[in-house]
Amino acid sequence: MQNYLNDNVALQNTIATMEVERKKVAAEQTKGFTFIGIGVGVAIIGLLFGLLFWAVLAGLIPVLYGCIILYQINDALKAYQQAYKQNIIGEALKFLDPSLTINPKEGISSDEFSYSQLFNKSVDRYKTEDLVSGKADKTSFYFAEVHAEYKTERQTDKGTETSWSNIFKGIIFVADFNKHLSSITIVRPKDLGNTISSWFSKNVFSFSDRDVIQLENPDFSRAFITYGSNQVESRYILTPSLMERILYLNANSEATISLSFIASRMYIAFPLDRNCFEAPIFESLLNPASLNTDINTIRFMYDIVKELDLNTRIWGKE
């Protein structure tokens, strides 16, 4: 990655310019949080001495001042975060492949999320951002961060209590598949003891046991359970070669993946416990570690087309 940065002069210049902005934002945020901390500390000391009124008054002044500082820097913070995605991540994408673009404010719609049929639970809260799209040879693809949740409500003595649980948090990857499909095939994790697998098992599209596809790769069958609405077509899709490639992709992912093949698209869900493409505030942009993580994520997604051999049009689709 260091060579990657060294070879990309435009990116180096952008990083150097934005490092100045990062330092300004970090300094103001540090100042704001410091005053808030001082105010809280003063209030606690005052309360320990039984001076309730003076504790609140003395603590409130620095807290308010700290909040004002954070409020005033908020626009600059948002501008810096957007510039990081557009200018740094965007430039890095173009260096990897000129077709790659990022749109921080776009994502995968909740309708398409549901259409993937990887999850059947009703979505009550949905957030998506950082849509990356491109084309590798013949294959168009796009992916974005998604956080989908459902709510649970229960009545208590104090009223309705609402709690939120994840349906999915991570990256949804969508690619053009090499065949127009007339059926649906879904591949999900088999290990029901795994937390991620548990929600796939509960939320997967409503197939029954009779729709389970029996495949001849024992390693694949140990890792995944496959459902299909057309046994013959599902086996045509999941060739021995593709099953091996999916196993390889899964082994190199951060958590167990799940896939669906619908119409002429392939969907892959990659659970993640972090947000991608977020601008560092208190860490120098000149340190390539954080950018490394983002670029490696992009490269991993970009290489899916090659790893799954999606450019081979074995059914004649162009």
- Ordered DSSP codes for 226-253: EEES-HHHHHHHS-HHHHHHHHHHHHTS
pLDDT computed for residue 26 by the predictor: 94
pTM for the whole structure: 0.81
Q: How does DSSP assign 85-138, residue by residue? A: IIIIIHHHHHHH-TT-EEETT----HHHHHHT-S--SPPSEEEEEEEEEEEETT
**Residues 177 and 267: beta-carbon distance below 8 Å:** no
pLDDT computed for residue 199 by the predictor: 43
Q: Which two tokens stand for residue 294?
A: 């983002």
pLDDT computed for residue 4 by the predictor: 55
Q: For residue 152, with 0-12 CB atoms within 10 Å meaning exposed, 13-18 middle and 19 or more buried, which class applies? A: exposed
pLDDT computed for residue 207 by the predictor: 52
Residues in a beta bridge with 134: 141
Q: How does DSSP assign 59-98, residue by residue? A: HHHHHHHHHHHHHHHHHHHHHHHHHIIIIIIHHHHHHH-T
pLDDT computed for residue 200 by the predictor: 44
pLDDT computed for residue 198 by the predictor: 43
Write phi, then psi, for 277 (nearest 5 degrees).
60, 30
CB atoms within 10 A of CB 99: 15
The CA-atom distances, in angstroms, between 213 and each of 190, 249, 281 are 13, 21, 49
Amino acid making up residue 300:
F
What's the average pLDDT block by block, 10 residues per block, for the chain (318 residues)?
60 86 94 92 84 80 92 92 90 86 93 88 92 89 94 84 90 87 88 45 49 87 89 88 90 88 92 86 82 83 84 54
**Residues 31 and 69: beta-carbon distance below 8 Å:** yes
CB atoms within 10 A of CB 3: 7
Residues in a beta bridge with 153: 162
CB under 8 Å to 173, separation ≥6 — which residues? 141, 142, 143, 267, 268, 269, 270, 301, 304
Exposure b/e, 294-311, CB count within 10 A at least 16 = b? bbebbebbbebbeebebe
Residue keyed to tokens 């309360």:
47
- Gyration radius of the chain over CA positions: 24
Residue among 69, 65, 70, 62 nearest 42 (CA): 62
What is the rounded CA–CA span in Å between residue 79 and residue 46? 39
